[in-house]
Amino acid sequence: MAALTQVTTVRLGEHLPLLQLLPSSNSYSWVRGGEGLVGWGEYASIKVSGKNRFEDARAWWHQQLEKFSVSNSVHGSGTGPVLFASFSFDRNEESVLVIPQVIVGKRGKDSWMTWIGEDAQPQLPQIAPTYVSNTYEFSEGTLSADEWKLRVARAIARIDRGDVDKVVLARDLIATAPHQIDARPVLLKLAENYPSTWIFSVDELIGATPELLMRLTRGMVTSRVLAGTIPRTGDDARDLALAGSLARSSKDLEEHEYAVRSVADALEPFCSSTNVPEAPFVLHLANVMHLATDVTGALLESAQHVDAFSLLKSLHPSAAVCGTPRAIAFDIIDEIEGMNRGRYAGPVGWIDARGDGELGIALRSGQINGDEIRIFAGCGIVGGSDPEVELAESSAKFSAMRSALDHS
């Protein structure tokens, strides 16, 4: 029998902010408001695809866990060995799973480090790194703006015909830099501009998602649903009035209800009880405002084998990134959208050895490839949608990544 590999978790004292600990390559993050997890180095990784990708991901993760001898003096979610995951939107595209060599976590006043191997505890940097500035040129992606509006019009026609209630269409832009892109300054700028979002980085997919697909901790599950959006103007009084109009908009409330219902229905088989607030609240971000609802549930006591992978399989894709009914909306996206989403709009985050985890939906994001980054934005199309308005909404959503790139 092969010797087990040592995994050690210890408490940490003072250290730099999590995102400032990241090296320039093989780095991973899931950070919100300065708390969360970062990692670097690669102990092991795999790519999975196909209809059984969540089961295959779980099987591989459990195989790796069987090889570990864990010494954990901290305990709690996110301690011990942790898997970073970025799943594709479409099951036929590749999803990426990585076990970092080193992980640093922070929750409240507590910080910890986990590392794999017999080596002594890794030393953390004491001085914040400096970054090389990049400038970016933006160009149209798979479709031009006018072409994309035509696709939106086609989706509206399908809705009016009664084929589907809601369908989400996405578009992309390309940003090119003179030098290889360093994700770290972009992540820091996103964290500065959007402190209430989850700042993620897995295999060069980076972003700041406001949407938590699922958090599973000790039998309690939470999902933050966003659907229904209006751009901000920068004028506080005007934005307050717009927030009120968003909260009363029948079109946006309808879109939001589809998304909330899809999440509640996906969680119901696993939960003894769920709580779905009667009305959404308005989430204010720097660039847009969203209708938001936090759905919570308590897992059934009989659901002992339910873990993050089980919930992901049921939750993804939600109506917030696909549509309603889900299967029909997915087929219409495949037919109309004309773009390969890759891992955009897929689950992204981490899962620990207990099967607990936090994963968001990879929104407000971009895929780095050398000196180029492909950024994404999507809009929920329902009855009453207007292609010109949807184009403006997508542009507002692009601004999160565009601004971070321009000022990093």
Using the predicted structure, report yes or no on whether residue 295 has a pLDDT greater than 90: yes
pLDDT (0 to 100) of residue 1: 62
- Across the strands, what pairs with 209? 198
pLDDT (0 to 100) of residue 178: 95
Measured torsion, CA atoms of residues 192, 145, 225, 39, in degrees rounded to the nearest 10: -40
CA angle 399, 402, 408 (to 5 degrees): 130
Domain ranges within the chain, ordered by starting residue: 5-121+134-406
% of the chain at pLDDT higher than 90 = 92
| Contacts of residue 231, Cβ cutoff 8 Å, sequence gap at least 6 | 287, 288, 392, 393, 396
Using the predicted structure, report yes or no on whether residue 339 has a pLDDT greater than 90: yes
Residue type, 98: V
Q: What is the mean pLDDT of residues 121-127?
A: 95
How much is the pTM? 0.95
pLDDT for 90-112, tens place per residue?
999 999 999 999 999 999 999 99
Task: Report the chain's mean pLDDT, rounded to a whole number.
Answer: 95
| Contacts of residue 155, Cβ cutoff 8 Å, sequence gap at least 6 | 167, 169, 332, 336, 381, 385
Closest listed residue to residue 325, CA positions, set 262, 257, 253? 262
What's domain 5-121+134-406's superfamily in CATH? Anthranilate synthase (3.60.120.10)
pLDDT (0 to 100) of residue 141: 97
| DSSP, residue by residue, 156-169 | HHHHHTTS-SEEEE
| DSSP, residue by residue, 113-155 | EEEESSSPPPPPPSS---------EEEE-SS-HHHHHHHHHHH
Q: What is the mean pLDDT of residues 217-235?
A: 92
